[in-house]
Structure 1
């Protein structure tokens, strides 16, 4: 069951990425640009991580609980930020609209459902959120450098040219705090959903 569910999630993520590539290719006319342009977005990088992780899981590779927790948190961030800050900012149609729905809505729902239902519990550590935060922090540095070089930022809330460095820093801090709180909540939920070993042993003895 876990491998089948992982395969379905991998298929959803790869499908969304492929549709996004095709839509960008139709716009740019360049395969290189169709690969490079989407890679400015945290959404695409996170869905790519989801696709690789769940493909490996579907093929029988062991995924560490910490890694799976970090991937789950990152894709949840994708969905929450999209719903709160990005939904409706750009009018989409055709393949771009379908890719938008898969990458921002479908995958960010499937992954946490998988984690709740099928991931081993009781194995996350309180220090894990600090490790998980390295991914969005690294992305922020990359996005700011790339945006400055290209003159176009991936997201409006990190657009230094329009908002100024102070506002972008504040936005980054608020998102980082939300990510940290969500990470701690995930660890707490992991502890709460941990099987009661003592109760299980007592039940086995009866």
Structure 2
């Protein structure tokens, strides 16, 4: 009976008390997904109230890293709640949740450090801010910590994950240059100078990679793997 139970664990390399395909994980994934969808819906409601256009609302919403990250988290955790085993292999699931944890942490840290208090918030704007800037940056890393199989992350993963924020940065710069309005003040080179923008973005990128590496180190610590041995372990995914 015990052997059969262990075989059902999400990560056979480190059986846990709460596997990612277990009922507790699926309920928590549903709650995370609900928070993400609620934040996005509130944001859409607020923007639509100002634009009166569905197309304009979508265009505005997709201009913010917060919203695209919230959308990715909403889709990922909806899939985890609905059918985690059908989503991907255990290692891929663990890395996807870790990536989501890092992205939402980036959203929360940048918001608190650079953007907090720039404009007053009320109604749907306030709800969207709470869900996407406060709830998700806490809930997603906690989900990874409690439910994701450990020992699956690789040192190269944080570098791979930078592709998304770097791609968004390029998109935001082009969009800002063409439209004359940048989504975030710290990437507005016309206002602050491109040297300042470059330094700010480099600091954010370095912090992103550093936190990602710390996440990998924590993953190995929790898995009980000694440094230098992870690459020799077979990937049981």
- Please tell me the TM-score bracket, short chain as reference: over 0.9
Are 1:55 and 2:88 matched, yes or no? no
Supply the distance in 1 between the matched residues of 2:224 and 2:150 (Cα, whole angstroms): 7
Are 1:168 and 2:197 matched, yes or no? yes
After TM superposition, the structure 1 = structure 2 runs for residues 96-115 of structure 1, keeping only pairs within 5 Å, are 96-115=125-144
Per-residue deviation at 1:195? 5.1
Supply the distance in 2 between the matched residues of 1:41 and 1:82 (Cα, whole angstroms): 12
Per-residue deviation at 1:119? 0.8
Partner of 2:124: 95
Structure 2 stretches lacking a partner, 5+ long: 1-23, 226-237
Partner of 1:141: 170
Per-residue deviation at 1:145? 0.3
Per-residue deviation at 1:71? 1.3
Per-residue deviation at 1:86? 0.7
Q: Is the 8 A contact 2:98 2:141 kept in 1?
A: no
Partner of 1:131: 160
Supply the distance in 2 between the matched residues of 1:31 and 1:175 (Cα, whole angstroms): 32
Q: Is the 8 A contact 2:26 2:80 kept in 1?
A: yes
Partner of 1:191: 220
TM-score (norm 2): 0.80
Supply the distance in 1 between the matched residues of 2:44 and 2:180 (Cα, whole angstroms): 22
Give the alignment's Cα RMSD to 1 decimal: 1.1
Out of 122, 137, 153, the position equivalent to 2:182 is 153
Per-residue deviation at 1:102? 0.8
Structure 1 stretches lacking a partner, 5+ long: 197-206
Q: How many residues align?
A: 196
Q: In the TM superposition, what whole-angstrom CA distance separates every residue of 1:87-126 from its partner, at most 9, and x where no partner exists?
A: 1011111111111111100111110111111111110000
Greater Cα shift, 30-39 or 57-66 = 57-66
Partner of 2:231: none
Q: In the TM superposition, what whole-angstrom CA distance separates every residue of 1:127-179 from its partner, at most 9, and x where no partner exists?
A: 10110110110011000000101111011110111012111111111101000
Supply the distance in 2 between the matched residues of 1:162 and 1:81 (Cα, whole angstroms): 19
TM-score (norm 1): 0.92
Q: Is the 8 A contact 2:173 2:182 kept in 1?
A: yes
Higher helix share: 1
Supply the distance in 1 between the matched residues of 2:214 and 2:81 (Cα, whole angstroms): 27
